[in-house]
Amino acid sequence: MKFYLLPILMVGLLITAESQAAQVSYGLTLDGKITDYRQDPEEYELPGFGLGGEAGLDDEGFSLNHSEITMQVDAEHLSAKMTVVIPEEDGDIDAELEELYLESVGLGNGITLRAGRYFAGVGYINQQHTHSWDFADAPLAYRAFWGRQYIDDGLRINWVAPTDMFVELGLDALNGGKYPAGGSTSWDGVDAHVAYANFGDDIDSSQSWQAGVSYYAADVDDRLSGGHQHGGGGATEIPGFTGDSDVLGLNLVYKWAPDGNYRNRNFTLQSELFIRDEDGDVILKGSSPLEATTYRGDQKGFYVQGVYQFKPQWRVGSRFDYLTSDNKGSDAEVLEEASLDDEGVDPKRWSVMLDYAPTEMSRWRLQFNRDKSYERNDNQILLQYVISFGAHGAHTF
């Protein structure tokens, strides 16, 4: 977290703590999975896209995945939220600070300010907790561009227009210390910016929609990702990208329920598209002599999904993912080793899921993926449970 955030957070926490009307609520969400893959998950890759962040597949077998503890403080003019995730990776459990931010409450004129660590304003599901997602794993586009989910430290200004139609504009000034920016180098600690605009309205009493556009621009400094692995030997040469990165995101969400009554039956259709344009250099760290290439990234990815609740507690869903890339560089071999050559493959995946919510606080999900992310086709079965205790907040559209 950068120096300029610390005083803001401390003053804010003091104001919040001093407020007599402060309400504190806690929540615990258990999110676990049992997975079975036909292929070795260690071999997983997305040709043309380096795997960074948490883009890889979840461990095979049972994993605690993404359980989290949340604390929310609501005071008169400020609210604070903290989320600590307890992910399990390769058998190790590490607590991680996923969110810690202060936000203005009722500032007026439609303006909300936020400071701290939070889900950046890119795309649609990026701003939801993963346990609220409709599928047990991330869309391929989120793996490819955001390392599953883009979280960063920074400041946000959000404005809702005084119009009949919902119009929201926002800006994030972010540290850029996390994937996919790689590291902060500038004097003010701001290396990544996100501008976003969301629009939405009702079509009639049964149908609503929201459309969003986001633009991410970063000065990337040494973004590390997984390279092309040869026979599971584990890559010792780690590709690092330095240069300019721009990602345009478009998203559309449509929801329907008979008479607008979501209780018994409802349907959600959503789709997101990301287009990334990068210009810089890629070096293979750990190579001797040092291998490097110029790099012009041209990558696109989208997913479309539909989820239908056909009776109370039961939902079915289907999703299609597609990625394509056409990256260029001065040294084709280095690009290939950095997993930035598409190897003639456009990664794609088909998924179906069935979920059941025995209570308002719990959900079980069975999902099947036909995964063609790389040259080896994979069949994946995921069984997920999500159980929430205590306050788990209201849900956004």
Partner 1 sequence: MRTHSKYIQFIGFVLFVTLSQPAFAKLNVLACEPEWAALVTEIGGEHVKVFSATTAMQDPHQIQARPSLIAKARRADMIACSGAGLEAGWLPVLLRKSANPKIQTGKPGHFLATDHVKLLGKVIDDPANLHAAGNPHVHFDPQRMSSIAEALKNILSKIDAENADDYQANLQNFSDSWNAAMQGWETSATKLKKRSVIVHHDSWVYLIQWLGIKQVAALEPKHGIPPSTSHLAKLLEIVEQQPVDMIIRSGYEDERPSEWLSRKSGIPVVTIPFSVENYSTPGELKRWMDGVISKLLPGVSK
Rounded Cα distance, 382 and 369, in Å: 8
Burial-class residue 111 by CB neighbours within 10 Å (0-12, 13-18, 19+).
exposed
- Residue 234 binds partner 1 (CB under 8 A): no
The nearer residue to partner 1, 100 or 140, going by C-beta atoms, is 100
Q: Is 343 helix (H, G, I), strand (E, B) or coil?
A: coil
Closest approach of Cβ 106 to partner 1, in Å?
4
Residues 6+ apart with CB under 8 A from 2: 153, 175, 177, 184, 189
Q: Which stretch binds partner 1 (CB under 8 A): 100-108, 275-283, 324-332, 345-353?
A: 100-108
Residue 374 and residue 44 in contact, taking contact as beta carbons nearer than 8 Å:
yes
Using the rule CB under 8 A, which residue among 59, 201, 281, 336 binds partner 1?
A: 201
- Residue 40 binds partner 1 (CB under 8 A): no
Closest approach of Cβ 263 to partner 1, in Å?
4
Q: Which stretch binds partner 1 (CB under 8 A): 88-96, 159-167, 240-248, 293-301?
A: 159-167
Residues 6+ apart with CB under 8 A from 18: none
Residues 309-328 that bind partner 1 (CB under 8 A): 311-313
The nearer residue to partner 1, 39 or 127, going by C-beta atoms, is 127
- Residue 308 binds partner 1 (CB under 8 A): no
Closest approach of Cβ 222 to partner 1, in Å?
21
Rounded Cα distance, 102 and 119, in Å: 13
Residues 112-141 that bind partner 1 (CB under 8 A): 112
Which helix (H) or strand (E) element contains residue 374? none
Tokens of 337: 């080793």
Distance between start and end Cα atoms, the chain: 30
Peptide bond into 239 cis (omega under 30): no
- Residue 261 binds partner 1 (CB under 8 A): yes
The nearer residue to partner 1, 280 or 390, going by C-beta atoms, is 390
- Residue 193 binds partner 1 (CB under 8 A): yes
The nearer residue to partner 1, 254 or 385, going by C-beta atoms, is 254
Q: Which stretch binds partner 1 (CB under 8 A): 60-68, 101-109, 300-308, 373-381?
A: 101-109
- Binding-site size for partner 1 (CB under 8 A) equals 61
Using the rule CB under 8 A, which residue among 29, 67, 79, 367 binds partner 1?
A: 79
- Residue 163 binds partner 1 (CB under 8 A): yes
- Residue 198 binds partner 1 (CB under 8 A): yes
**DSSP letter string, 128-186:** S-GGGSSSSS--HHHHHHHTTS-EEEEEEEEEE-SSSSEEEEEEEEE---STTT----S
Peptide bond into 47 cis (omega under 30): no
Other residues' Cβ atoms within 10 Å of the Cβ of residue 105: 12
- Residue 217 binds partner 1 (CB under 8 A): yes
Closest approach of Cβ 120 to partner 1, in Å?
15
Residues 6+ apart with CB under 8 A from 342: 47, 48, 324, 325, 326, 327
Using the rule CB under 8 A, which residue among 230, 259, 288, 344 binds partner 1?
A: 259
- Which residues of the shown chain bind partner 1 in the complex (CB under 8 A)? 21, 74, 76, 79, 103-112, 157-169, 171, 193, 195, 198-202, 205, 208-210, 217, 255, 259-264, 311-313, 358-361, 389-390, 393-397
